Structure 1
Amino acid sequence: MTLAPGYDPKTFETRLYAEWESSGVFAPQGDGPAYSILLPPPNVTGTLHMGHAFQHTLMDALVRYHRMRGYRTLWQMGSDHAGIATEMVVARNIDREGLTRDGLGREKFIEKVWEWKAQSGDTIERQMRRLGASGDWSRSVFTMDPMASTAVIEAFVKLHEEGLIYRGQRLVNWDPVLKTAISDLEVVNEEEDGFLWSIAYPLSDGSGTLTVATTRPETMLGDTAVMVHPEDERYAHLVGKTVRLPLTGREIPVIADAYVDREFGTGVVKVTPAHDFNDYAVGQRHGLPMINIFTPDATVNDNAPERYRGLDRFVARKTVLADLEAEGSLVETKPHKLQIPHGDRTNQVIEPYLTDQWFVKMDVFAERGLKLAEQGDVRFVPSNWINTYRHWMENIQDWCISRQLWWGHRIPAWYSDAGKAYVARDEADARARAATDGYTGTLTRDNDVLETWFSSALWPISTMGWPDVDTMQARDFDRFVPSSVLVTGFDIIFFWVARMIMMTDHFMPPSLPDAARVPFKDIYITGLVRDKDGQKMSKSKGNILDPLDLIDGITLDDLLAKRTTGLMKPKDAPKIEKATRKEFSDGIPAFGADALRFTMAALAGPGRDIKFDLARCEGYKNFCNKLWNATRFVLMNTEGFTAPTTGETSTLAPVTDAERWILARLAKTAAEAEAHFTAYRFDLLAQSLYEFAWNEFCDWFVELAKPALNGEDAAAADSTRHTLLFVLERVLCLLHPLVPFVTEELWRQVAPRLGIDGRTIMLQRYPHSADFAVQAYADAEADIEWLKSMVSALRRIRSELGVPPKKTVRLLLQDGTAEDAARIARHASQLKFLNSLDSIDAIAGDPPPAAAALVGSLKLLVPLEGLVDLDAERARLDKEIKRVQGEQAKSQGKLASETFVQNAPAAVVEQERKRLTDWTAQLETLTAQRARLS
């Protein structure tokens, strides 16, 4: 036996992964039915976080399971170019070199980005390998690769030709530091203390004033109306009149719109269509002018009075308030809680900003996307997430797809000197299109790039070679599209999932049925990984856990440095350090990848956020250790044994009931595993496999095998050796999708003894309940469950009495059934071996003073003479009698309650009746035992 004495994942995990990857086993194998998963492409700037580890564990489990079931399996890997994040990283890097983005110019800056990508851009992929991700890295796609870029350009051109992409001026989320539009997903709303200012707007006819309330007084410089509710009788007579805008003198109308909340403030609000999303919608309904008062860096522009031009927006706010107060227009200032939008990259307050951008028209797309989900061509798991999807689809807005960056897919549009845009696949194509208009002058390419969600929306087809027919064929497009399942978080249902559905459907051949036009069949929505207290993990809270630290361990000092370096609010560092020292006084030990993966699976309830507790990692590392030790036991007890078996099918009928029992339990566990994989119930899968592997195989069957292994029946000994090896090999295969490393390492030791000639457990057949002919094993199952109850009861007596394990005792039996007697006869040798019994005798009449237990109606009595202090045993029995009386009283109380009996489910009531029967029987046994000691 070459298996190391102790379980140490550091000694084999990285070695095994390197062997797997170099062997090519991650690539699609065989000609079975297709099974594929798309990896949600992580940002090229990113590192593995707990959410990644969670989702990647589930994806890898599905991939490994289907690979073992004989599917032609593909896990399509890749990464996203992450326009904003990457541009920020590279800009910081060149700043250290004394260079600037603008100083380098576009082409040189992009060269710097590619240099950075080559050196540092695959960090997260290396980390995924450490977790055990068995994706086909040879097919990995980067969203800026030529193949993916071709798809992006083709999609943009086609959509523009179909009138589904247009350029227009609209309000967008604007980051004044990055000077670009950003998506809603990149905006974080935070509650902050602010103020509500009330300002008097004088009516133009001099008949009075209207007082409006605002949280952003500086934007009043761009007001184009004031607004009241159409049913507000207080102001009905003023609708259609005008007011004079303070500080500017402009006249603006009084309009009526149902958007107004009559109960808020005075029931009169200002309308600034160019600086508020709700006001923009009002402006569209009423045909109001749009006055943008800010420059791209959020300073006041020339559309405002000269006094305010060039001021930062927050300086402008103070100046506006001072001027309003000076002229007597500032009516009131009061504290007010409000949600402030911040950019997730810069933490700057986001400005609703009116600018020219490229948009995708979404109404027709949304109608189709909703239909595909409603009719079941794509299925949400859990199913309730379709409601979130439906709500967004029914309230969809046109999609802003342009960004004012340099890194990304540059928009394929060229402009004439007059500003006319020619959308084309390349400049030559643009010139040809311009020539048809008679224009032969200079063409200037659009400076903007497409937001990364646009290229990500094409991920299901761009990774498979679309639109090039030869590439599509080479990458098995028709086999792997639609993919089988998408594993993703609920937070990007809108931004990514819905858009993939719409785009894939649009670009697939219209002749295909709807079920073949979707990007994936199932959408498994995961929850968020939170800390053990249920708090969201974030650097600002100092509660982030790095999956690599859990796998390989980290010292306290290194953990402190990681959590407190680069905090957005340095003042939080002492608090974070204190909490970290308290929770991780000795740092974090190395749990190994398998323990982390099993923890993730065990916590993966349907659609729920999970509270991650390191204690679970410790427990599942112990589980891996248990497997290791059980394997060492099996290998030591099968040295030199040649099993009469080939592969996964036994050719030797089991001799003992213990073997028949474990084979029956193996069949049931295999059936449960298949059901849980099908339902995406990873938590139930982990629970079922843990229960079988730890309790039934490693504990009970290893124990129940010892009598045969140490007995004189050679046939029973050989049969038991075979069953130990056979069941262990199947257990390792059952567990492999969740804990791939330890199962591979152990399987390589076990498989040769079964005559299995295989290079890796990954390509072994996953256990299936139909593989095991166990229908005739019901009697053996019942016998062994009885035997387990007997052994447990006797061990409990020995423990309570403090009898050393090797000291033999007598067992007396009273009452019981004829079946108990027959079972005693069949299993006497096992009972004696497993419980160190020197004799087993049935008695009638009064027994001597003895410790007792009850298995069914059979009383188990262990005479106390020579074993215990009788006074101490009397005290123990008195305490136990009191406890059982309490439990009996609880059951009696419940069953005496008409409310409980009438309203509780019938099964619950019946269970309580059985509990009362059991407590009553136990109490009778204990009372009789106590009486014998009086």
Structure 2
Amino acid sequence: MGLEDRTRYDPDSSEARVFARWFESGRFHPEPEGTAAENYSIAIPPPNVTGALHMGHALNGSIQDTLIRFARMRGKRAKWILGTDHAGIATQTQVERLLKTEGTSREEIGREAFIERVWRWREQYGDTILDQFKRLGASCDYEEERFTLDESYARAVLKVFVTLYDKGLIYRDNYLVNWDPGSQSAISDLEVEDREVTDTLYYVDYPLASGHGSITVATVRPETMLGDTAIAVHPDDDRYTRLVGETAILPIAGRRLRIIADDYVKPEFGTGALKITPGHDPNDFEIGRKHGLDELTVIGEDGRMTEAAGERFAGLTALEAREEVVAALREEGRINRTEPYTHEVPFSQRSGERIEPLISLQWFMKMDELAGPAIAAVEDGRVRIHPEGQRRRYLEWLKNIRPWCISRQLWWGHQIPVWYRDAETYVGMDPPEGPGWERDPDVLDTWFSSGLWPFATLGWPDQTDELKAFYPTDVLSTARDILFLWVARMVFMGLEFAGDIPFDDVYVHSVVQAPDGRRMSKSLGTGIDPLALIDGGPRPPVFTEGGDFPAYGADAVRYGLLAMSSTQDVRFNEGTIAEGRQLANKLFNATRLVLLRVPEGVTLPDTVPAPTTVEDTWILSRLQAAEAEFAEAIGAFEFHRASRVLYRFIYAELCDWYLEMLKPRLYEEENTETAEFALSILGETLAMAHPVIPFVTEELWSLIPGTGDLLMSHRWPEPDAALRDIETEAEVARAIEATQALRTWRDGVRAAPGARVPARLDATGYERVVEHVARLARFEFSANGDEPVATVGVPGGTVLVMASDAVDMEAEKKRAAERAERLRADIKRVEGKLANEKFVAKAPAEVVQAERDKLAKLQKELEELS
């Protein structure tokens, strides 16, 4: 179907074809030449191998692709490093569920068979999200896809572990961890989510060993009191000063507890006395280590009470034990009182079960020595974190960092390279020689291996050409929830092993929330599938409007997400996606208008020809302004501003005004010069917009005669300040404002749509644009005429309207009278405000001046109506 037969851009018929051209060109895969300073690279935050595209991926993918395409078009070798993460817990959970449906389990089939099943799962589902990234238009280097369990990547992970162990930075110890009873593993902070829970706060009397009274503590977890080893009070709390150093008796168990003083205790919470359970609370654990307290474990890894809890409670679940402990306390008369208490409780994102802080034998990494250089890299500006608030969070976390638990009780992942034989321990990249060695069954935390991502994907520890050409990378774009878990780890790992920072800039993008402000979640009915927006699909329950999304196309989704994005969380707005579709259609119709009027043999010039008319000078000048602001916005990671620049220039300046001014010349028979200039402006506009809306711009570029190669590889149009003409911009701006005023007047008096209203232009500054104003506003200007019947204010003067059949003057008189009445009311209100001495004295000077300017404008308009 030719352009003359199409009135709208159809993404469904072009996107797959356009992407195939990009992919087959090989331009996504730059050769590893030159240095990192000369090139441009981004390492994709690796999505989970079992994942599917969600709104966060779509936003971040749009951001990264915009940056990559922008750099590529500016002549850089641009590499977007692609790959997926093995996602230990998430992937293992998926396969365990599958085995359960088959009537078996990982324990039944054994470790080797289970790992084989997970690899088969990966082969079946591992490409899903990467195929979906292609639908978004992501120009990743698909030829060098990486996976965190690839053989070469696994070698890098083992080398890092062994090196850090040899330096004394990795060690094994009993320490408090986040224990997930559901997955039977320690988990990272990222896999923990806080939920608001209302529990009962129990006030329990602990009798003093002296026999003289008791000390009351408040707890929401009475089942953990079976592991108490002390009671703590604040050293400045006068209520308890005399008790510090004495002993209390643990109800039910009868164990003696020291009463200690510690600054951590909050005197205002509960009674100001805190039971200390080092084995089941992270803060109590730190207090216990500081005071040398015993560490008792009364809740086991299966979530049930251990023998240390006592015969009456052993084997019960934690909640069952709570009821039984409360019953026992009531039997002893130790519950002083109760009250409801709402607080945040940690739960596992993976299993959904409540996290149990447990002391467990795990592998840990010392962080002090590694954190120092990572702090310095940000403080001295080598790594820039945007926005500033996230930089402060990063530094605060690293300065208060604790040892990192790096072992996980899973089978899928990088198995820890440690072997045991009797009392011997062997750590190495290869198994030890000799019989009797057993390998540690645990695997490394996923964040340990993904912390090497920017350099391990480029071939480290080998000094490959890729590593030389693309490390350090330029930008990391990510969400704030992994600023600590991933970003900080990449910084200290890069400095320690690759010898340099992993990236220059970290952009922490916004989180797109559901339209009602809740987090996006399929289970909550608030999740929005980006592919449903691209292809058309069902709206989730969170939308009040039913039915399916229309097929907006990838460009509209990219534009909409970028236009929504900022450094703050934002609510999803379907209207902004629709705006992106409108922009694509507007650009399509602009291209269609020009191309259908281009004479045979006219092709896109190599450079923009010199303008010969006021409108050509104006649009070329405005194009330079748009290009400069777009480039500045991209450089500042202000993608919402860059998107708005495109919309304003294409929709308003190019289409609504320039092409309307151009039409008479474009429709002339001998229009070669006009067509060449219009083609050049169109080509520059497509090139400027390409990083944000690549599909439609590439499609339209292919229709322009003389373009040849892909737009993706074309130069980005750098702005030329010498082509700015501020005087002409002001002149055309006056013409636009005058046209709008005259159109508003026509609508107000209901002038006949096709009629040209006779009038006299009594204003300055319109010498070169008067014909445009007359044609676009449908007025007929002349120097003569009868007494005017109406006056319309325009910049620099007025338009005096003459009597004619085109205007119902009675309606105009009525409209003018109504407008004058409103103006008098507004003038009275502003005069009253300015007569208020308190307002004039206290309001900022610019506010007062704005009111004075408003008054002058209102008075001038009223005068013109008189």
TM range (shorter): over 0.9
For normalisation by structure 2, the TM-score amounts to 0.96
What SS does the corresponding residue of 2:702 show, helix, strand or coil? helix
Q: In the TM superposition, what are the counterparts of 1:688-767 in structure 2 within 5 Å? A: 688-710=645-667, 714=670, 717-750=671-704, 752=705, 755-758=706-709, 760-767=710-717
Match of 2:162 in 1: 157
Whether contact under 8 Å (1:240, 1:255) holds in the other structure is yes
Match of 2:792 in 1: 853
Counterpart of 2:683, as a letter, is E
1:13 Cα deviation after fit? 1.0
What SS does the corresponding residue of 2:82 show, helix, strand or coil? strand
Stretch deviating more after TM superposition (401-410 or 854-863): 854-863
Q: How has the CA–CA distance of structure 1 residues 848 and 386 changed in structure 2, closer, same or farther, with 3 Å as cutoff?
A: closer
1:443 Cα deviation after fit? 0.8
2-structure distance, mates of 1:911, 1:661: 30
Stretch deviating more after TM superposition (862-871 or 585-594): 862-871
Match of 1:449 in 2: 443
1:769 aligns with 2:719: yes
Q: In the TM superposition, what are the counterparts of 1:366-765 in structure 2 within 5 Å? A: 366-418=371-423, 420-427=424-431, 430-431=432-433, 441-469=435-463, 472-473=464-465, 475=466, 477-509=467-499, 517-555=500-538, 559=539, 577=541, 580=543, 583-605=544-566, 607-640=567-600, 642-643=602-603, 646-647=605-606, 649-650=607-608, 652-710=609-667, 714=670, 717-750=671-704, 752=705, 755-758=706-709, 760-765=710-715
1:625 Cα deviation after fit? 0.9
Stretch deviating more after TM superposition (905-914 or 96-105): 905-914
Q: In the TM superposition, what are the counterparts of 1:299-338 in structure 2 within 5 Å? A: 299-338=304-343
Q: In the TM superposition, what are the counterparts of 1:160-309 in structure 2 within 5 Å? A: 160-309=165-314
1:887 Cα deviation after fit? 3.9
Whether contact under 8 Å (2:599, 2:675) holds in the other structure is no
Counterpart of 1:317, as a letter, is R
Counterpart of 2:759, as a letter, is L
Whether contact under 8 Å (1:849, 1:865) holds in the other structure is no
1:840 counterpart (782, 789, 806): 782
Q: In the TM superposition, what are the counterparts of 1:102-181 in structure 2 within 5 Å? A: 102-181=107-186
1:868 aligns with 2:789: no
1:535 Cα deviation after fit? 2.5
1:17 aligns with 2:7: no
What SS does the corresponding residue of 2:708 show, helix, strand or coil? coil
Match of 1:568 in 2: none
Counterpart of 1:495, as a letter, is L
Stretch deviating more after TM superposition (41-50 or 885-894): 885-894
1-structure distance, mates of 2:374, 2:680: 49
1:8 counterpart (7, 10, 23): 10
What SS does the corresponding residue of 1:523 show, helix, strand or coil? strand
Stretch deviating more after TM superposition (141-150 or 396-405): 141-150
What SS does the corresponding residue of 2:142 show, helix, strand or coil? strand
1:895 Cα deviation after fit? 4.4
Whether contact under 8 Å (2:740, 2:777) holds in the other structure is no
- CA offsets 1:527-552 (integer angstroms, 9 cap, x no match): 21112333322234321111111111
Counterpart of 1:774, as a letter, is L
1:66 aligns with 2:66: no
- What runs of 5+ residues in structure 2 fail to find an aligned partner? none
Stretch deviating more after TM superposition (402-411 or 535-544): 535-544
What SS does the corresponding residue of 1:769 show, helix, strand or coil? coil
Stretch deviating more after TM superposition (403-412 or 49-58): 49-58
Q: How has the CA–CA distance of structure 1 residues 267 and 795 changed in structure 2, closer, same or farther, with 3 Å as cutoff?
A: closer
1:22 Cα deviation after fit? 2.3
2-structure distance, mates of 1:423, 1:341: 34
2-structure distance, mates of 1:880, 1:310: 84
- CA offsets 1:647-669 (integer angstroms, 9 cap, x no match): 3x12x332211111111111111
Counterpart of 1:769, as a letter, is P
2-structure distance, mates of 1:835, 1:176: 73
Whether contact under 8 Å (1:61, 1:737) holds in the other structure is yes
- CA offsets 1:279-306 (integer angstroms, 9 cap, x no match): 1011101111111112211111121211
Whether contact under 8 Å (1:657, 1:781) holds in the other structure is no
2-structure distance, mates of 1:811, 1:623: 36
- What runs of 5+ residues in structure 1 fail to find an aligned partner? 432-439, 510-516, 564-576, 928-934
1:787 counterpart (714, 724, 735): 735
Q: How has the CA–CA distance of structure 1 residues 262 and 778 changed in structure 2, closer, same or farther, with 3 Å as cutoff?
A: closer
2-structure distance, mates of 1:901, 1:604: 39
- CA offsets 1:244-284 (integer angstroms, 9 cap, x no match): 32222222322222222223333322211101111101110
What SS does the corresponding residue of 1:536 show, helix, strand or coil? coil
Stretch deviating more after TM superposition (446-455 or 609-618): 609-618
Whether contact under 8 Å (2:749, 2:808) holds in the other structure is no
1:734 Cα deviation after fit? 0.7
2:346 counterpart (329, 336, 341): 341
Whether contact under 8 Å (1:707, 1:830) holds in the other structure is no
Q: In the TM superposition, what are the counterparts of 1:34-53 in structure 2 within 5 Å? A: 34-53=39-58
Q: How has the CA–CA distance of structure 1 residues 285 and 837 changed in structure 2, closer, same or farther, with 3 Å as cutoff?
A: closer
Match of 1:437 in 2: none
Q: CA RMSD in A?
A: 2.1
Q: How has the CA–CA distance of structure 1 residues 900 and 675 changed in structure 2, closer, same or farther, with 3 Å as cutoff?
A: farther
Whether contact under 8 Å (1:707, 1:834) holds in the other structure is no
Counterpart of 2:801, as a letter, is V
Whether contact under 8 Å (2:40, 2:76) holds in the other structure is yes
2-structure distance, mates of 1:908, 1:707: 45
1-structure distance, mates of 2:858, 2:238: 74
What SS does the corresponding residue of 1:307 show, helix, strand or coil? coil
Match of 1:573 in 2: none
Whether contact under 8 Å (2:788, 2:800) holds in the other structure is no
1-structure distance, mates of 2:347, 2:679: 60
2-structure distance, mates of 1:239, 1:274: 22
Whether contact under 8 Å (2:348, 2:355) holds in the other structure is yes
Stretch deviating more after TM superposition (284-293 or 891-900): 891-900
1:496 Cα deviation after fit? 0.8
Whether contact under 8 Å (1:411, 1:448) holds in the other structure is yes
- CA offsets 1:124-177 (integer angstroms, 9 cap, x no match): 111111111111111221111112111110000000000000000000010011
Whether contact under 8 Å (1:828, 1:840) holds in the other structure is no
Counterpart of 2:564, as a letter, is L
For normalisation by structure 1, the TM-score amounts to 0.89
2:856 counterpart (910, 917, 933): 917
2-structure distance, mates of 1:894, 1:729: 52
1:91 Cα deviation after fit? 0.8
Number of corresponding residues: 861
1:773 Cα deviation after fit? 4.8
1:7 Cα deviation after fit? 1.5
Whether contact under 8 Å (1:151, 1:462) holds in the other structure is yes
Q: How has the CA–CA distance of structure 1 residues 746 and 901 changed in structure 2, closer, same or farther, with 3 Å as cutoff?
A: farther
2-structure distance, mates of 1:609, 1:397: 29
1:191 Cα deviation after fit? 1.4
1:618 Cα deviation after fit? 1.4
1:901 Cα deviation after fit? 5.2
Counterpart of 2:782, as a letter, is I
What SS does the corresponding residue of 1:708 show, helix, strand or coil? helix
Q: How has the CA–CA distance of structure 1 residues 256 and 797 changed in structure 2, closer, same or farther, with 3 Å as cutoff?
A: closer
